[in-house]
């Protein structure tokens, strides 16, 4: 009887070990997938004009790849006209759908993507009257997927928000000149150029001017971040539940077998 008890107990421990190993493997694989995205634009903010924004996949680390992307488009409705699906042109055989009520964008492709590419081009129409000098367009709540994990896919992969800033064209101020009158008759206009003595007393602002000029030209800022696959907390919860169930079952079986031995 004791030998039978030991055999059953050993078998139960082996089953528990296998279940825990399988759950751990699934959980570990689910946390390794990452997808990077960006928004880019070279457009300027001009009343009555249009702004072109590109949605890009920058890097994909997701097994066999992804074939679905969902996100919410966030833009200033006081600056741009309401977006519709007609304002979107898909790239590389992606199929877009968009709800102008929820602002949810969905993109699907018949084949899985493994490399960087431009997914979508969005045209936003600027209103005829605006009160800002710059505005931000953002994709948020981004989720990429390559299918269910149970079917060998990636599951849901969460990507950080990405955005781009659209600014107005900077206008250059006219150069100021000094006017000198000689003898009350002739007027000579000369450029306002500081002399050498003044230059020696003034701080060197060349670096500051170069920095401000660079800031004026670089109107587009993109962010590309990626997060581990969403749903990892769910897998962890599933593992805990499985362990709890197996532990309870093992304890009940152990009490019964112990009672039979006595």
Q: Tens of pLDDT along 115-138?
A: 999 999 999 999 999 999 999 999
The pLDDT of residue 99 is above 80: yes
Higher pLDDT, 220 or 57: 57
The pLDDT of residue 232 is above 60: no
Among 84-93, 155-164, 240-249, whose mean pLDDT is lowest?
240-249
Average pLDDT over residues 79-98: 96
Q: What CA–CA distances, in Å, run from 196 to 44, 193, 200, 201?
A: 40, 10, 6, 9
- The terminus-to-terminus CA distance of the chain in angstroms comes to 9
Q: 15-18, long-range: CB within 8 Å, 24+ apart, which pairs? A: 15/246, 16/246, 16/247, 16/250
- Alpha-carbon distance of 60 to 95, in angstroms, equals 19
pTM, two decimal places: 0.58
**Going by C-beta distance under 8 Å and a sequence separation of 6 or more, which residues neighbour residue 115?**
57, 60
Residue 201 CB neighbours (<10 A): 7
Fold assignment, 33-169+209-227: Immunoglobulin-like (2.60.40)
The pLDDT of residue 226 is above 80: no
The pLDDT of residue 245 is above 90: no
Q: What is the mean pLDDT of the chain?
A: 77
Average pLDDT over residues 73-100: 96
Q: For residues 65 and 114, is the Cβ–Cβ distance under 8 A?
A: yes
Higher pLDDT, 67 or 197: 67
Q: What is the dihedral of CA 32, 223, 102, 96, to 10 degrees?
A: -70
The pLDDT of residue 88 is above 70: yes
b/e string for 228-256 if b means 16 or more Cβ within 10 A? ebbbbeebeeebeeeeeeeeeeeeeeeee
pLDDT for 132 equals 97
Residue 21 CB neighbours (<10 A): 10
> Which pLDDT tens digit goes with each residue over 167-214?
999 876 666 655 554 444 544 444 454 444 444 444 454 444 444 444
């Amino acid at each position: 009887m004791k030998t039978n008890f030991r055999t059953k107990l050993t078998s139960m421990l082996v089953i528990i070990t296998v279940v825990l190993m399988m759950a751990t493997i699934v959980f570990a694989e689910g946390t390794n997938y990452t997808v990077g995205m960006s928004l880019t634009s070279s457009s300027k903010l001009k009343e009555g004009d249009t702004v072109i924004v590109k949605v890009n996949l920058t890097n994909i680390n997701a097994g066999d790849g992804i074939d679905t992307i969902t996100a919410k488009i966030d833009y200033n409705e006081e600056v741009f006209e309401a977006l519709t699906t007609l304002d979107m042109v898909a790239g590389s055989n992606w199929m877009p759908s968009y709800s102008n009520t929820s602002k949810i964008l969905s993109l699907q492709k018949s084949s899985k993507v493994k490399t960087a590419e431009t997914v979508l081009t969005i045209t936003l129409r600027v209103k005829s009257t605006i009160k800002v000098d710059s505005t931000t367009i953002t994709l948020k709540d981004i989720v990429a997927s390559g299918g269910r994990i149970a079917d060998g896919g990636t599951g849901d992969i969460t990507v950080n928000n990405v955005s781009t800033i659209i600014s107005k064209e900077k206008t250059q101020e006219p150069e100021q000149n000094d006017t000198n009158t000689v003898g009350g008759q002739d007027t000579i206009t000369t450029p306002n150029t500081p002399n050498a003595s003044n230059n020696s007393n003034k701080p060197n602002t060349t670096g500051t001017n170069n920095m401000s000029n660079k800031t004026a030209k670089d109107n587009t800022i993109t962010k590309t971040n990626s997060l581990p696959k969403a749903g990892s907390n769910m897998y962890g919860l599933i593992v805990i539940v499985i362990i709890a169930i197996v532990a309870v079952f093992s304890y009940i079986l152990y009490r019964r077998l112990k009672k039979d031995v006595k």
